[in-house]
Amino acid sequence: MFVSQTHLPQLLDTSHYSDEGVHQRERETMFQSGWHCLAAWDQFPKEGDYITSNLLGTPLILWRRQDQIRAFLNVCTHRFSMLTDRPTGCFQKNMKCQYHGWEYDETGNTCRIPDAQSFRPLKKGELGLKEYRVEMVGQLVFVTLNPQAPPLREYLGEDLASLCEERFSKQHHITYWFDREQPCNWKIVIENLLESYHIENVHPRTFKRFPVPEHCTHTFHDTYDYYIHDFKDEPDSANTERFVCHLTGQPLDLKWRHILRYPNIAVGGSGPFYYFLIVFPLTPTTCRLLTYTFHYSGPRGRLWPFLVHRVLKRYGKYLGQQINQEDAAIYPGIQIGNTTQERPHGGGLISAREERIFAFQKYILSQVGRQPAQQTVAEQNGCHSETACEESASNL
Ligand code: FES
Ligand SMILES: [Fe+2]
């Protein structure tokens, strides 16, 4: 059942979905300090493979050296060109700048400078690349821009870290992934995935029905929330799952699990398919959505799991594309509606089924507050906006 017995108020106002000041505060208070997943191990099949990415305006190159991924600023120390602007590639020995050919070794130190004598005096290794911390959980590769960030496991919390290890291990395969800009504020993507209320309307052929409240459990923590839908008494879903687990040899777990680690990391799924999703704010009204779905088809390298893998990959990709397209189609309309100045003063109701959105919005307010012009009279007199809301949802 849901925690709240009543509907809840919308806590965020139009500025939270469109204002440059709020956008900057969000980046400073919530994003710069955190860990962010930028890749999966399966995207680096060979020694020397690299991926370039942009994390909150910082261009990075992620480079595989043996069984490790290292992350460097993708900016050459000579005259600051990007080392490479290719999205992927392979530097088997050294990273080489595309402009004048300076080379860097696996620690980021300069190791070869063409016409080196014309740079005298310059000590060997003097101008190294800036390196960032990388940690992995399962096969997900996380990077932080914050040297003081806690260890990744601690940041994610034990529930999420264990789920990632279990569902995104190196035994799992990437079913489907994409990395795309979306024409909406990043919170619209998060709020959409926190509720099952839109399922019957937006995903009538894929998810079909929304879950029975008695089968749902919402648990709220300081930095994350955890949703479990127990569908053992829902024959349609349970039978499909039994069949797939029988094929793959996976233990049967008739639960849909979903965690949001505030503000921007979500993991969800059941049976052989689990997805990982991360959203980055780009501007107040656009964001970047990176998501991976993984599946398990049995131990790697055997014939039967390989055949199951082919089937799961094809089916999972079809399903993933379909669901993502259905969601992406509604983001622009939600963005416009939420940011219109004529937005109705009444309304903005969050149902008990959607209570995870309320908890998320509460977290956002605790981090960035409101724009002064948007504060209520009570808030201007010193009352924090959460106070009133806490009366109606003290357990969330
Ligand atoms: S800018 Fe990279 S070698 Fe010159
Ligand atoms: Fe959806």
Based on the fold, state whether residues 154 and 290 are members of the same structural domain. Answer: yes
pLDDT score of 193: 95
Q: From the CB of 76, is ligand 1 less than 6 Å away?
A: yes
Q: From the CB of 81, is ligand 1 less than 6 Å away?
A: yes
Tokens of 265: 């990391």
Based on the fold, state whether residues 4 and 91 are members of the same structural domain. Answer: no
CA of 180 to the centre of ligand 2 (A): 16
> At which of 148, 172, 196 does a domain end?
148
| Pocket perturbation via mutation, ligand 1, pick of 72, 77, 78, 115 by most ligand atoms within 8 A of CB | 78
Based on the fold, state whether residues 217 and 325 are members of the same structural domain. Answer: yes
Closest CA to 50 of 82, 2, 28, 18: 82
CA of 202 to the centre of ligand 2 (A): 7
Tokens of 266: 């979500």
Based on the fold, state whether residues 158 and 139 are members of the same structural domain. Answer: no
CA of 89 to the centre of ligand 2 (A): 34
Based on the fold, state whether residues 99 and 174 are members of the same structural domain. Answer: no
Q: From the CB of 97, is ligand 1 less than 6 Å away?
A: yes
Q: From the CB of 112, is ligand 1 less than 6 Å away?
A: no
Based on the fold, state whether residues 101 and 120 are members of the same structural domain. Answer: yes
Locate the ligand 1 atom nearest the alpha carbon of residue 80 and give its number: 1
Give 252-319 as a DSSP string: P--EEEEEEETTTEEEEEETTEEEEEEEEEEETTEEEEEEEEEE--SSTT-HHHHHHHHHHHHHHHHH
CA of 145 to the centre of ligand 1 (A): 23
CA of 326 to the centre of ligand 2 (A): 7
CA of 53 to the centre of ligand 1 (A): 19
Q: From the CB of 104, is ligand 1 less than 6 Å away?
A: no
Locate the ligand 1 atom nearest the alpha carbon of residue 83 and give its number: 2
pLDDT score of 207: 74
Based on the fold, state whether residues 234 and 182 are members of the same structural domain. Answer: yes
Give 50-58's long-range contacts (Cβ < 8 A, gap of 24+): 50/84, 50/88, 50/89, 50/90, 50/91, 50/95, 51/87, 51/88, 52/82, 52/84, 52/85, 52/86, 52/87, 52/88, 55/143, 55/145, 55/280, 56/27, 56/31, 56/32, 56/145, 56/280, 58/145
Based on the fold, state whether residues 165 and 76 are members of the same structural domain. Answer: no
Which ligand lies nearest to the CA atom of residue 116 in the structure?
Answer: 1
Domain CATH number, residue 205: 3.90.380.10
pLDDT (tens digit, 0 to 9) for every residue of the chain, 396 residues total?
A: 899 999 999 999 999 999 999 999 999 999 999 999 999 999 999 999 999 999 999 999 999 999 999 999 999 999 999 999 999 999 999 999 999 999 999 999 999 999 988 988 887 767 899 999 999 999 999 999 999 999 999 999 999 999 999 999 999 999 999 999 999 999 999 999 999 999 999 998 877 778 888 999 999 999 999 999 998 888 877 888 888 888 888 888 899 999 999 999 999 999 889 999 999 999 999 999 999 999 988 887 788 888 888 889 999 999 999 999 999 999 999 999 999 988 887 778 999 999 999 999 999 999 998 876 555 444 444 434 444 444 555 667
Which ligand lies nearest to the CA atom of residue 277 in the structure?
Answer: 2
> At which of 123, 148, 173 does a domain end?
148
Question: Over pLDDT 90: what percentage of the chain?
Answer: 73
pTM score: 0.91
Domain span holding position 248 = 1-34+150-396
Write the pLDDT tens digit of every residue in 299-344. 877 888 888 888 899 999 999 999 999 999 999 999 999 999 888 8
Based on the fold, state whether residues 232 and 321 are members of the same structural domain. Answer: yes
Closest Cα to atom 3 of ligand 1:
100
Based on the fold, state whether residues 74 and 211 are members of the same structural domain. Answer: no
Contact in structure between 281 and 26 (CB atoms under 8 Å): yes
Which ligand lies nearest to the CA atom of residue 76 in the structure?
Answer: 1
Based on the fold, state whether residues 60 and 176 are members of the same structural domain. Answer: no
> At which of 115, 148, 181 does a domain end?
148
Write the pLDDT tens digit of every residue in 240-277. 888 888 888 888 889 999 999 999 999 999 988 999 99
CA of 83 to the centre of ligand 1 (A): 7
Our count of domains for the chain comes to 2
pLDDT score of 24: 96
Which ligand lies nearest to the CA atom of residue 189 in the structure?
Answer: 2
**In b/e form, how buried is each residue of 49-74, taking b as 16+ CB within 10 angstroms?**
bbbbbebeebbbbbbbeeeebbbbbb
Closest Cα to atom 4 of ligand 1:
100
pLDDT score of 148: 96
pLDDT score of 84: 98
β-pairing verdict for 68-73 and 35-40: unpaired
Based on the fold, state whether residues 331 and 285 are members of the same structural domain. Answer: yes
Domain CATH number, residue 63: 2.102.10.10
